[in-house]
Structure 1
Amino acid sequence: MSFDPIAAVTQNDPYPGYAALAARPELVFDQARKLWLAGSPALVRAVMDNPACRVRPVAEPVPAAIAGGSAGQVFGLLVRMNDGARHAAPKLVLQRALAALPLEVARWRAVLLAQALLTGPGEAGVPPAAGLHGRTGAVPMAAGAAWLEGRRLSAWTFDVPLQTVASLLGFAPSQLPALSLWMRQFVACLSPLSSPEQLALAQHAAQCLLDSFSDLLRSAPVAAESLLGAVLAEAEAAGWNNAQAILANLVGLLSQTYEATAGLIGNAIVALLQAPQRASEGGLALVREVALNDPPIQNTRRFVAEATRIGSVELRPGDVVLLVLAAASRASDAANQAFGFGHGAHTCPGQALAETIAAAAIDVLLPAQALQQGMYAWRYRPSHNARIPEFFKPGEAA
């Protein structure tokens, strides 16, 4: 194929190429990249439902570049990086804990943090760290915030979701900036584009994140109403007593929140900059539409562990399938399924939470800064799978 599904992630308009791929009824072999491509909803579902297609290569459960360090320890224990028994019980625990989280409470927490991060320290209320219940009614939106520098707006799209989930887990407001920094450093280990220096920093950041959760668990009785309390209660009920795996997946809750939800917020801002009239749709409707039509996670891979068949294509052990999620989500037969949030056993349990936080961020931003065409320009962060805009003002250094 002449279409490059990896380069497409950071192109201004990759969607004609995605549409052509989504129309293909069978897997397509990409000779240049030595992998199979799946772009239609039916093919993406078939691969994700096939137990022979794993989330990691059998011979390399942890990327060699980070194996042996704290980042590799976290990676190897993440629910989303495992299949079978190592995936089932932890996934159930996280599903149940997140399902029990009141979305209105999450929205309120996100609103307050979004306000605080827009207007600056001390100018907006920051929510308490522990119990989830309490005030959940309408919260006044920040108004009249200064026109942000592009880099500050970009950082805001990352910090709002990360700090919201960290707060819901029980971290104190004073701890949130450090968590944002460590997570920014840690996620470098998930990218094949990272330098050796970034990977070394990610190892240190992973240990800091693990230590932070260990300290949180030891410092005081965990509030039963917190998200952390819910995770621990569900882990006990499910008999999931692997302390290291629980710590790793608490870090995983933050890492999944960090880039994917930032991309959801950022791509919603792009939609508003392109068509300011869409502000009337409201944050949640806009975010859900963006999750389908300009999703933050554009592709993912599956690694064939044993001989299997998808459609008429015979796959062999060692084959790799690139699932082009952004193509499948926009297809006419997608049935409004946002494939960026996964499918089947690997459906993201945090979809509703991510959409709620992203919508709250947009609802705070709109009264504070009326977004207009030409107000910001943007480019996409270098990535093989995540579509995350970086903003800059016209004339500001890109």
Structure 2
Amino acid sequence: MDPIIAATHADPYPYYAQLRAEGGLVFHQGLKLWVASSAATVAAVLAHPACQVRPAGEPVPKTIVDGLAGEVFGRLMRMNEGERQRCPRAAIEPGLALIDPVEIQTLVSARLITPDAEGLSKAMFYGPVCVVATLLGFSPAQTREVNELTADFVACLSPLSTRLQLDRAHEAAEQLRGHFFELLDDPDVHSPLLNGIKQRFASSDNEMLIANLIGLCSQTYEATAGLIGNALVALIRDPLLLRDVDSFLAEVQRLDPSVQNTRRFVVAPCVIDGINLNPGDTILVLLASANRDPQLNEQPDTFIVDRPNRRSFTFGAGRHQCPGQTLALSIASATLRQILAINPALDGLTWHYRPSLNGRIPLLTEAQA
């Protein structure tokens, strides 16, 4: 076991507890990086200005730097610091917080979900992006294409992707860019979300805006799929956990988050947890471990639906905290309600985790008789 393999391990949480016992920030000789595992250290790393989201000498991964997916990546607010992060965030975040959960429920309810493993997987991976695309003003036919293209585009974000997947990611980025250009230029689009974003976007750089609208879809695709999937896994294990859907999901995202870790890259000398860090150092930030730190939550390994003062790093913290947290939880809540309404035979399902270095996204299959 190591901190990266842990993300898709059947039960990584005892290992995370072992890491916390060894110290909040320790150097992993095998991976050649620092590992932050305690709540206090994770909070310190995420807040420190010297700990940034990309290496100073590699703002875009080398595998995609020469294609359009790399151009989009380089403009994403989540992959930038300073004004290149603040400007698109200030345009997009306020509108996400204003979306009516009833509207989300209506959009989710309009989609047919079947109770088998394939139908539930489609609800995880197809529904969320289609909701976001609809809210942005795309037509029903366009939302399906945007979802398929987003699925191809997210491959550029994974170091595990093959050359073929990366080529398809570049093609998807080009097609998504075209769809968003047309959307922004269409006077007949009546989307309160998109209109608000356009009004708040304090720049004439349409490429920056389009890249971050693509980023909104790509973040929705994986993180929300994982949240819905891990909620279903929790119910497969113990159907009695579910009483209130929203509280149940809030505990799922704390206890078994779809984003297990993230990385920060040291760009200036700094001291964290009493340890001197130098430019060029990499820190693997174990969000999932911090969520189970007893210094953050009492009885951290117990699923408590009505947990008081629940605290979580799943959606990050500080300047790079996920702006779509409320939206993701609303979509997951609406989707889970719709799934429960069709009464699927969850005890007939099994799962394994999608290969990933940081994500915990279950892939559901029918259990063998």
Once the two structures are superposed, residues 173-194 of structure 1 have per-residue CA deviations (whole angstroms, 9 ceiling, x without a partner) of 1112211211111111100000
- Equivalent AA in structure 1 for residue 356 of structure 2: S
2:155–2:169: 8 Å Cα contact kept in structure 1?
Answer: yes
Q: Deviations over 1:273-302 (max 9, x none)?
A: 1111223x2321221111100000000000
Query: 1:332 is matched with which residue?
Result: 294
Q: Does 1:380 align with 2:342?
A: no
Q: Which of 321, 332, 335 is 2:283 aligned to? A: 321
Q: Which residue matches 1:202? A: 169
**2:302 is the counterpart of 1:302:** no
> What is the distance in 1 between the residues matched to 2:296 and 2:322?
17
Distance 1:11 1:151 in 2: 23
Instruction: Give structure 1 stretches of 5+ with no counterpart.
Output: 119-144
CA RMSD of aligned residues (A): 1.5
Residue 359 to residue 371, structure 1, CA distance change in 2 (3 Å): farther
* Separation of aligned partners in 2, 1:216 and 1:342: 30
**Residues 25, 43 of structure 1: 8 Å contact kept:** no
Query: How far apart are residue 171 of structure 1 and its match?
Result: 0.6
Q: Aligned partner of 1:342: which letter? A: G
Residue in 1 that maps onto 2:155: 188
Aligned pair count reads 357
Gapped regions of structure 2 (runs ≥ 5): 298-309
Q: For residues 30 and 331 of structure 2, what CA distance do their matches in structure 1 show?
A: 39
Residue 60 of structure 1 corresponds to 58
The answer as to whether partners of 1:302 and 1:322 remain within 8 angstroms in 2 is yes
Matches within 5 A, 1:286-301: 286-301=248-263
Q: Which of 240, 251, 272 in structure 1 is aligned with 2:214?
A: 251
Q: 1:103 to 1:333 in 2, by over 3 A?
A: farther
What does 1:354-365 align with in structure 2 at a 5 Å threshold? Answer: 354-365=328-339
Query: In structure 2, how many angstroms separate the alpha carbons of the residues matched to 1:202 and 1:366?
Result: 34
Tell whether the 8 Å contact from 2:123 to 2:335 is kept in structure 1 after alignment.
Answer: no
Maintained 8 Å contact 1:151/1:390:
no
CA distance in 2 between partners of 1:326 and 1:22 (Å) = 12
Deviation at 1:228, TM superposition (A): 1.0
Q: Secondary structure at the match of 1:345?
A: helix
Map 1:1-398 → 2, pairs under 5 A: 3-112=1-110, 116-118=111-113, 145=114, 147-148=115-116, 150-223=117-190, 225-235=191-201, 239-279=202-242, 281-334=243-296, 336-373=310-347, 375-395=348-368
The letter of the residue matching 1:324 is L
Between the aligned partners of 2:286 and 2:90, the Cα distance in structure 1 is 26
Instruction: Return the letter of the residue paired with 1:282.
Output: D
| Distance in 2, Cα, partners of 1:379 & 1:86 | 37
Q: How far off is 1:24 after superposition?
A: 4.4
Deviations, residues 200-245 of structure 1 (Å, cap 9, x unaligned): 010000111111111112233442x52111211111xxx2332110
Tell me the alpha carbon deviations over residues 34-79 of structure 1, each in whole angstroms, 9 at most, x when there is no partner. 0000011110110011111110001110011111211011100000
Alpha-carbon distance in 2 for matches of 1:152, 1:57: 40
CA distance in 1, matches of 2:92, 2:142: 23
Amino acid at match of 2:259: I
Alpha-carbon offset, residue 153 of structure 1: 2.2
Q: Normalising by structure 2, report the TM-score.
A: 0.93
Aligned CA distance change for structure 1 residues 95 and 23 (closer, same or farther; 3 Å): farther
